[in-house]
Amino acid sequence: MFISEKAPAKINLTLDALYKRADGYHELEMVMTSVDLADRIDLLSIPSSAILLESSSGLVPQDEKNLAYMAANLLRKKMGIRRGVAIRIDKKVPVAAGLAGGSSDAAATLRGLNRLWGLGLSLRELAEIGSEIGSDVPYCVYGNTALAKGRGERLQVLPTPPACWVVLAKPTQGVSTADVFGALKVDKVKRRPKTSQMIDALYRQDYGAITRLMGNVLEPITMHMEPDVRKLKEKMYQFGADGVLMSGSGPTVFALVDRESRAKRMVNSLKGFCPQVFAVRMLGNLNKTKQNVIVQA
């Protein structure tokens, strides 16, 4: 049997770190949404009990260090499964980019294996298992638009932003999420995103307010490590972006643009400055999840 799952990239409309917890993680508040740029995860039943993994990109581990492999292994252990699987990752989302590419691969592997092995687990149960793999995995199990709190595992489903285009630009150098959080001093943060106002703007479907309220406390830190982040931000505004922000711990910078023609022109203008540039649509509510449901993984 063979199953295919999409693993979309996410962007942060907001990212706030409230304080550093005793376990070393930061207590976060983030509004995240998915965009139409996705890896494809193919899962194939095999006669042996092995987990085999290959990826179209040499930039991700092809062994047990890959988050998709870890997800399959953990699910097997938790559910007492002996069957093996061949995992193939067709990689389209930039790596070490702040777009949750690896977490989304892990989440898609959990969703796909739940079907392949007929486990009948709910998204909530898959998200709970996923939280042991990485902080963004629970969100990626659900996708769509959500407020994530805690380490990232406490989720509240939000309305999807109004239809628009997202231009993504990833500087050559990736950054380590742990390094960026490691350099963050929460008590020294100068500007924080107004998360509750962003949530109101999503409920009102107020595109202008959404573009104005975007904010990420990690942006100044990654900008310091990777000066291309600032340069790309300036260029995107210069080329007509409605709003620009770094996603996650970066270094990918995204622009929201209301029209396709403008998004395509921005991509052409940015190509000279940045090797990886995409214009994609904001993703609509794919899973038709009930609005405003609190989902605690």
Which residues of this protein are in contact with ligand C5P, per CB under 6 A?
25-26, 28, 134-136, 151-152, 177-178, 181
Phi, psi (degrees; rounded to nearest 5) at 55: -130, 150
The nearer residue to ligand C5P, 152 or 243, going by C-beta atoms, is 152
Of 6, 10, 91, 233, which is the active-site residue? 10
CA distances from 112 to 72, 74, 279 (A): 10, 14, 27
Contacts of the segment 69-73: beta carbons below 8 A, 24+ positions apart = 70/106, 70/133, 71/105, 71/106, 71/107, 71/109, 71/110, 71/113, 71/129, 71/130, 71/133, 71/137, 72/109, 72/113
Nearer to ligand C5P, 18 or 52 (CB): 18
CB of 133 to ligand C5P, least distance (A): 8
Q: 122 Cβ partners below 8 Å, 6+ apart?
A: none
CB of 182 to ligand C5P, least distance (A): 6
Expressed in angstroms, the distance from the first to the final Cα of the chain is: 29
User: What are the Cα distances from residue 27, in Å, to 99, 103, 154, 207?
Assistant: 19, 19, 11, 28
When the beta carbons of 7 and 270 are compared against ligand C5P, the nearer one is: 7
100 is in an annotated binding site: yes
- Alpha carbons 121 and 115: distance in angstroms, whole number: 9
Which of residues 136 and 228 has its CB atom nearest to ligand C5P in the complex?
Answer: 136
What is the rounded CA–CA span in Å between residue 78 and residue 275? 41
Instruction: Answer yes or no: are the C-beta atoms of 40 and 54 closer than 8 Å.
Output: no
Residue 95 annotated as part of some ligand binding site: yes
9 assigned to a ligand binding site = no
Out of 39, 105, 136, 228, pick the active-site residue. 136
Q: How far is the CB of 65 from ligand C5P (least distance, A)?
A: 12
104 among annotated binding-site residues: yes
State the residue for tokens 């687990």: 121
Determine whether 6 is an active site residue.
Answer: no
Question: Of 175 and 277, which CB lies nearer to ligand C5P in the complex structure?
Answer: 175
136 in catalytic set: yes
Are 172 and 164 in contact by the 8 Å Cβ rule? The answer is no
Q: Is 103 annotated as a binding residue?
A: yes
Q: How far is the CB of 177 from ligand C5P (least distance, A)?
A: 4
Residue 97 is labelled as binding a ligand? yes
Summarize the annotated binding site for ATP as residue ranges: 94-104
Could you list the active site residues?
A: 10, 136
